Structure formats: structure tokens, C-alpha cells
Structure 1
Amino acid sequence: MESSRLHRPVLVWVVLFASTLVGCRDSEPVSQAEIKPKLTVESLQLEQAEHYNVKREYVGIIKAAQKANLGFELAGKVSEIYVDVGDRVEKGQSLLTLDIELLKTEANQLKARDRELNARLDLVKANLKRQQALKANG
């Protein structure tokens, strides 16, 4: 048992020495066919360019600088659109126009109703005056 303990370090040294000798042996000579020929290169003179174009692509999420909720006071049909998606707009710029034919008709109806009510009011006032005059005369 003790002799195997003594032989173990010797065996390790022998294996290390043998592997070192195998690694240090001469390699086979390289044939001329395996040697690649040297490449010839041309040198160029650098010139400063006046301008150049660089194409850049970015990945990301675009957020609007401002957000606006738009709407009309009255509902209706759109007759003209002045801007497109993505256009820049200024404050106060018209974006679209509503068709106001129905609104004009409604306005005319309201004006007619107003005239009718004023005529009724005038009639009531005239009847009141007449009745007051009849009452005063007895």
C-alpha cells in the first residue's frame, strides 16, 4: 500500500514529461503549394468630400408633443377637409367645414317662429288695450 503511494507521484511526472516531449517534436515541413502568395495592394490618395449622405434608421416610439381633442358645437356632415393626417397645423387654422344647409333651414324656421310669436304678442297687446278701453268707457 505504501509503495503505491510512492509510485503515484513518479507516475504523474513520467506522464507529464512524455506529453511535453510529444508536444515539442518537429512538425512536418509545409509544402510550397500550401503557402499562399502575397496579395498586391494599391494605395489611394484621400480627398476631402464636400458633402456626403448618411442613411440612418432608428427604432422607437413616436409621441406627439401636444394632444388635442377636437369637435364641433353642432353635429353635421363634413363638406370640405383642409388638412391630412400628419400635417402640421397652426392655432386657429380651419381643419374642415361642415355642410350648413340643414343649419340654415333650422335658422329660417326659428326666425319664422320668432315672427309668429311677435305677431301673437302684438295681437295680445292690442286686445288688452281694446279691453281696457271698453272697460273704461263702460
Structure 2
Amino acid sequence: MSVINVGVLTALGQPEYATPVQELLTNFALTERLDDPPLRHYLVSRTNGLSFLFEDGLLLDIQVFVQHTKLFAACPFELPFGLRQEMNQIQVHQLLGEPISCDAFDSRYVLSGHDARLLIGHETNGGIRYLSFEGIQTAAL
């Protein structure tokens, strides 16, 4: 798989054993498990810059590390919605429209057609640092 597309959003809120979730785990090589007791764990791919957060067995959040960190390489896949790693906050807002909230560090969107929220973390010198997708139904739990 060479793109993080909006199809990944359909997995949000689904159980870890569900076929769409299992396909994403396989396609993106999320094989390392990090436990966060009592109810949370992460399945990650450090080389692909991806982390899936599960709570009580449900996929709660998908994090995409657009820039490398100490623990994760930069995600090598094409980003959704036409986003690009080098985009600054103004360019992101021009592309996606006005966020529901923003500050110097991040922009927050509701993806109403996808029942998800999107948090875009920005680098202080420009560029996108990370993306975080959260299901709206799972956020209400």
C-alpha cells in the first residue's frame, strides 16, 4: 500500500479482530505491540511511521508521523486529502478549509463525511509534523 487514504477511516471504532482493521495492520506492517494498561495498547510500525491506538479492543486513533521522531521514521506513504509533508498551516487551511480550532501548534477538523476528527500537528518552522485520526463515535465513549 502506498497511500494513507480515507478508506483507513472506516476502520476507526472497529474491533481489532475485524477484517478491515486486520487488513490495515498487515498492509502497513503494524506488528509491534506496546501495552498501556489497563485497557489500552498500540500496534505500531516504527519504520512506516504509524501507530494505531486500541482501547478495550476497539481502534480509537490512528497516528501518522509525517516527520521522523526519536522512535518513528517519517511515514513514507502518500497522505490523504492532498496533504503534503512540506505544507505550512496556511496552506493546510487553504486546502481543507477553516478548521474548527487551531493555534500555532495544530489545526483540528471534523471530517463529517467520514465520522472522524483530524488533528494536524505543525512544525514551528513550517511543515506537517503528524496527523491523528479519531473516530467520532469512539471519542464519545
Please indicate, yes or no, whether the TM-score normalized by the shorter chain is above 0.5. no
More contact order relative to length (CA 8 Å, sep ≥ 6): 2
Structure having the higher helix fraction is: 1
TM-score, structure 2 as length reference: 0.18
TM-score (norm 1): 0.18
